[in-house]
């Protein structure tokens, strides 16, 4: 009876007191925004404040890096071309300057890691705004970064936004191929690179495409591209991805091993009731904190990242091999995109039809900072979903 009371008390303290206090601001935990009604306006203002701080740093670093220096047009046969797809976002009253932030961070990383990088890099911006002359942010950056502009004249043809996005994506991929690079990293302007992005990128290439470190089964398949970002809200344990359940089982076994060792050291026996309760506690704890937060621990080293078959949805940052990019262009150019059938759905169709596969590196090495959807005419997205 006493044992049951202590167990119940511990569960209540953990899940009804301690975790709600610690995790109500922890995104992707079950407690996020849970202490009181979710205030979307307040959360959007907080994200705008984060964006403002990021932008101040980006502008300062950008000025320092480009002082007396212009980033030249990428050379032919550069190992990796990083292409940032740019389109104006926000509203008439507010410009988030995502392009400035992303380009500045990429330049900073390329400069900071230059002595340890094994590959050569080129950087370019692909301006696909339908009114490029009005897109002043991209025009200013084009003075320092090689930029290609798709719509040099006003877009007269009426096409749906999803088809335009697909055509723009194909255009930027084609322009990147002109440099005959081995790999193309196609990044949307609101995909912000993490601090270790380049080292993880190179580790991923050596693993997936160049088969340097391992002999896993995915290396026997033709990989067209490697996803570098998947929405965190879709990375939970409750999923059709079976490997995540094995991760949960591994966490249970690890905690059990530690607790059993401690109990034996204290001369306590181990019962099936103890094992069952520990397992249940671990499952509840993992679900409460959220898998996206737990796997973020693995970002401390490139070697802790893992590779799995790419899940569907979303293309903020994809790394293409040269042959994979050509195959994707050929496939997407012959398909139509429309509401409910965006370019990521066309990529899924490509993988089903072709002899290629796609992989995903986990945890993410890019962060999605966008609040404004270019597909939804600048509509502000739900901050609890972004």
Cis geometry, peptide bond prior to residue 363 (ω within 30 degrees of 0): yes
The pLDDT value given to residue 295: 92
pLDDT, average across residues 34-44: 64
Which tokens belong to 264? 């034996």
pLDDT tens digit string along 149-179? 998 876 666 678 899 999 999 999 999 999 9
Task: Put the strands of the sheet holding 121-127 in their side by side order.
Answer: 147-149, 121-127, 80-86, 183-188, 317-321, 222-227, 356-362, 306-309
**Of the ranges 91-95, 249-253, 342-346, 368-372, the best mean pLDDT one:** 342-346
Lowest model confidence (mean pLDDT) among 63-77, 143-157, 216-230, 300-314: 63-77
Lowest model confidence (mean pLDDT) among 19-28, 269-278, 329-338, 344-353: 269-278
What is the value of pTM for the model shown?
A: 0.87
The pLDDT value given to residue 148: 94
The pLDDT value given to residue 313: 85
pLDDT tier, 39 (very low <50, low <70, confident <90, very high otherwise): low
pLDDT tens digit string along 76-135? 889 999 999 999 876 666 788 999 999 999 999 998 887 889 999 999 999 999 888 889
Answer yes or no: are the C-beta atoms of 288 and 24 closer than 8 Å. Answer: no
First to last CA, the chain: 46
Distance, C-alpha 158 to centroid of its chain: 31
Answer yes or no: are the C-beta atoms of 54 and 157 closer than 8 Å. Answer: no
Return d(Cα 306, Cα 126) in angstroms, integer: 30
Answer yes or no: are the C-beta atoms of 50 and 91 closer than 8 Å. Answer: no
């Amino acid at each position: 009876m006493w044992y049951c009371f202590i167990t119940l008390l511990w569960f209540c303290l953990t899940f009804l007191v301690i975790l709600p206090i610690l995790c109500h601001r922890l995104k992707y935990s079950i407690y996020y925004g849970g202490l009181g009604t979710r205030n979307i306006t307040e959360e959007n203002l907080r994200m705008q404040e984060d964006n403002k701080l990021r932008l101040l740093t980006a502008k300062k670093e950008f000025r320092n890096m480009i002082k007396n220096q212009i980033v030249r047009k990428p050379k032919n046969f550069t190992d990796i071309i990083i292409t940032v797809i740019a389109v104006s976002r926000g509203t008439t009253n507010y410009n988030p300057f995502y392009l400035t932030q992303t380009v500045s961070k990429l330049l900073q990383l390329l400069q900071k890691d230059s002595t340890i990088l094994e590959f050569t890099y080129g950087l370019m911006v692909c301006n696909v705004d339908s009114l490029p002359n009005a897109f002043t942010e991209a025009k200013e950056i084009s003075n320092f970064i090689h930029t290609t502009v798709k719509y040099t004249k006003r877009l007269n043809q009426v096409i749906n936004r999803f088809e335009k996005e697909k055509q723009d994506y194909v255009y930027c991929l084609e322009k990147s191929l002109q440099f005959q690079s081995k790999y193309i990293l196609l990044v949307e302007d609101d995909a912000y690179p993490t601090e270790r992005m380049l080292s993880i990128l190179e580790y991923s290439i050596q693993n997936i495409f160049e088969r340097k470190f391992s002999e896993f089964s995915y290396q026997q398949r033709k990989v067209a591209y490697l996803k570098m970002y998947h929405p965190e809200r879709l990375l939970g344990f409750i999923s059709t991805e079976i490997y995540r359940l094995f991760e949960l089982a591994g966490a249970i076994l690890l905690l059990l091993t530690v607790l059993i060792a401690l109990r034996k050291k204290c001369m306590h026996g181990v019962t099936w009731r103890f094992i069952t309760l520990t397992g249940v506690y671990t499952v509840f704890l993992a679900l409460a904190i959220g898998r996206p937060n737990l796997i973020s621990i693995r970002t401390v080293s490139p070697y802790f990242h893992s590779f799995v078959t790419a899940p569907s949805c979303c293309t903020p940052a994809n790394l293409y091999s040269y042959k994979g990019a050509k195959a994707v262009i050929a496939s997407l150019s012959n398909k139509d995109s429309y509401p409910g059938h965006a370019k990521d759905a066309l990529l899924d169709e490509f993988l089903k039809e072709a002899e290629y596969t796609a992989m995903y590196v986990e945890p993410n090495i890019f962060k999605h900072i966008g609040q404004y959807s270019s597909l939804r005419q600048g509509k502000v997205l739900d901050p609890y979903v972004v």
